[in-house]
Structure formats: C-alpha cells, structure tokens
Structure 1
Amino acid sequence: MTYETLEIERKGAVATIWMNRPDVFNAFNERLIADLGAACRALDADATARIVVLAGRGRHFSAGADLNWMQRASGYGEAENLADARSFAGMLQALSGMSKPTIARVQGAALGGGTGLAAACDMVVASDDAQFSTSEVRFGIIPAVISPYVLRAIGPRHALRYFQTGEKFRADQARAIGLVSEVVSRDELDAGVAALVEPLLAGGPLAQQAAKQLIAAVCGRPIDAAVAEETATRIARQRATGEAKEGIAAFLQKRPPAWQG
C-alpha cells in the first residue's frame, strides 16, 4: 500500500514506518492519523514483518498536532470533535495493539501527541537531544486520548506533574521515569534500534505475541488464585504450540530455531 504522509521501508523482517511531513516536523493531521492507523493494521496482518519501527523524517520525530488541524478542530461542534478524537484514539489503539514488537525511533521533538505515539510503542530509542511533553494544558485542552499509553509508561505520579505543567523533559529524564528504553547520540539512533532488533528476532513470534497478551491480562490485578490460574493456563497453552516444541528442540539440539532461519 502507498500512503500520502508515510513511507514504509522494509529490511528483511523489520518494517519501518516513516512519518514523512518533515516541513511541519511530522505534526499530524487527519491524513497522517488515517495513514498511520491503516499502516499499523496492514503490517500487523503481514506475517513477514516481525518487528515494526515508528520513525520520523527530518529533524524531529513529531511535534504533535498540526496547528492548521487544531484550528479547524476549534471550530468543530461536539459531534465533529468526538468523531475526530475517535479517529485519533483508533490509530493509537492500532499501534499499541499490534501483535508484534514495536519500537519508536525518536529524535528531536516528541511533543503532545508525539509523546503519545512514543508511549504507544513497546520500546523507545531516543537521541540524547530528544524532548518530550504533554503540553496540551498550555492550549487549554487535556492529553485525554494519549493518556492510557503515557500513564502505562510513566505511572500516575509523574503524570500528575507533566499533564498539569506541560513542561518539556529531556531524553534522560524520560528514561528515568519509564517512557524511554535507551538513550543514544543522534548519529547512533539506527545502531540503537538495531541493538533491540537483534534480540527481538531471536524470540519466537507467537511467544512474543502471547507475552504482550500476558502483560495486558495480568498487569494491575491482585496476585490471587484467579491470577495464578490465569498464568498456569497461559503457559500450559503455550507449551503445547508447535513454536514452543521447535524452540525447546532447537535448544536441546544446539541449533537455531526455525524462526531464525
């Protein structure tokens, strides 16, 4: 598929979604939101794509909402605003809900919704000059649609600060509070992503999908008999898969598993 605002780059089992609006720092509007949602759904259905990287062309990852889009939205009625917000929420859900590992490659600004995009990915590799913010309050609005993903990453205590101050925070601060996985220099961004890709390709794709589902099923629940039964059921089901049998056989036979071939 081709997209008006994106480029899809394939290198073996790794698919990179490049946001391609560098003239506006990859700020998103209705078209970019629709393209990103469609690309996530297409790549999720593509068994040849093992890992998805989200990146931005130019100096910045994403400056958040396009000002022209925001201006149009300010004139919307409640019904139009709800439809617009649902489109954005659906795109983030498609990104976060992908059945395969996702990595955000972040340089420069990742502001507002740009922080939301990074948080919706499983992992974030950021350049040491990257800056993040949930700046919506400075425009008289709130980071509502991105909040589930940012909260999952940084927790409510840090969210209470940054959702209310709207202040920018650096990559090293973002790593300290859980939003960023690795911080590298800008010229080492691709190497930093590759360093995560290598161990990800060593894992079984179905096991990785099951691991993501496991986290969603268990996170936040009390450790009680119901959770114990849930986890026992999940590992029993996983052990019975062909992928698990192949992985254990490969280990015992001291050879790479089939998915690494």
Structure 2
Amino acid sequence: MADFDTTSFTTLRVEQRGAVAWIWLDRPDRYHAFDEVLCGELSGLWRTLRTVDPVKAVVLSATGDKAFCTGIDRDFVPAEGGATYDFSPFTYDDPGRLLGPKANELWKPVVCAVNGMACGGAFYLLGEV
C-alpha cells in the first residue's frame, strides 16, 4: 500500500514499491508532451513526495517505448490555441518551469528511465536529475 495518493492522476501513472516511488508520464497519444494538466500533476506530486518519509527515491519514466517526452504539447502553446499572450520577454511565464523535481524543492534522488525519444522540454526533467 502506498504512503500517498497514487490514483488521482490523469496524465501520470504512480506506484510505490517499498521505498521507491515510480512515476510514468502517461500521454502516449501525444508522445508524453506536457500540457497544463501534466505540469500541474507532476509539480504537485514532486511537492507531495517531499514530505512522504517512507519514499527515499523516485524513478521517472513513461508508458510505452516510442517516447519519454517530446516537450511542450503544441496545443498548449498560447499562440497556437492556448491563452492570450503578449510575447513580451519581460512577462513570459515559462510553461515548463515547474516540471522538474528540484524546481519543486524535492531533494530525494530521482532516476530517469528514458525509453524512446527525449527532446525539447524533456530536458526540464532530464537536466534536474
């Protein structure tokens, strides 16, 4: 049994196996590209795992074998169908800024099991672990 909620996600699969939390990105139809939902779920999960003492390490992967993550979902980009955005470099909020564990102050070891393509915004995840 997990020491935290592993069932309330729509873009992630989560399990606890002993002292290790296993997280899979689960948007195979979009090659695990991140959108607002995935960003929110993953950021929230990193912050939850900070305080789950029985979890000592995390493995991050993706379902399937075609892609680990292909970056931002193009349907999530403001100019291409998302929210209104003025494109000023002074007010730009990077949509991937809170994807990684360290950006959410999770200091437990995280290992990425990359299976398939990893490009673009995938490096928000790979660069922090």
Superposition TM-score tier, normalisation by shorter sequence: 0.7 to 0.9
Counterpart of 1:114 in structure 2 is 122
* Unmatched 5+ stretches in structure 2: none
Q: State the TM-score, normalized to the length of structure 2.
A: 0.80
Counterpart of 1:101 in structure 2 is 109
After superposition, the C-alpha distances for 1:117-152 in whole angstroms (9 at most, x for unaligned) are 11111xxxxxxxxxxxxxxxxxxxxxxxxxxxxxxx
Q: CA RMSD in A?
A: 2.2
Counterpart of 2:68 in structure 1 is 61
Q: Give the AA of the match of 1:68.
A: D
If each structure's strand is expressed as a fraction of its own residues, which one has the higher value?
A: 2
Counterpart of 1:43 in structure 2 is 49
**In the aligned structure 1, how far is the partner of 2:55 from the partner of 2:13?**
15
Structure with more contact order per residue of length (Cα contacts < 8 Å, sep ≥ 6): 2
Structure 2 counterparts to residues 211-222 of structure 1, below 5 A? none
* Structure having the higher Rg: 1
Q: Which of residues 78, 81, 84 in structure 2 aligns to 1:72? A: 81
* Unmatched 5+ stretches in structure 1: 122-261
Instruction: Tell me whether 65-74 or 33-42 shows the greater mean CA deviation.
Output: 65-74
Aligned sequence identity (%): 31
What's the offset of the Cα at 1:98? 1.5
**In the aligned structure 1, how far is the partner of 2:55 from the partner of 2:46?**
11
After superposition, the C-alpha distances for 1:12-40 in whole angstroms (9 at most, x for unaligned) are 00101111101111000111111110010
If each structure's helix is expressed as a fraction of its own residues, which one has the higher value?
A: 1
**In the aligned structure 1, how far is the partner of 2:16 from the partner of 2:29?**
24
Runs of 4+ in 1 over 4 A off after TM superposition: 81-84
Structure 1 residues 36, 82: CA separation in 2 closer, same or farther (over 3 Å shift)? Answer: farther
Structure 1 residues 83, 9: CA separation in 2 closer, same or farther (over 3 Å shift)? Answer: farther
How many residues in Structure 1 have an aligned counterpart in Structure 2?
A: 117
Q: Is 1:17 aligned with 2:23? A: yes
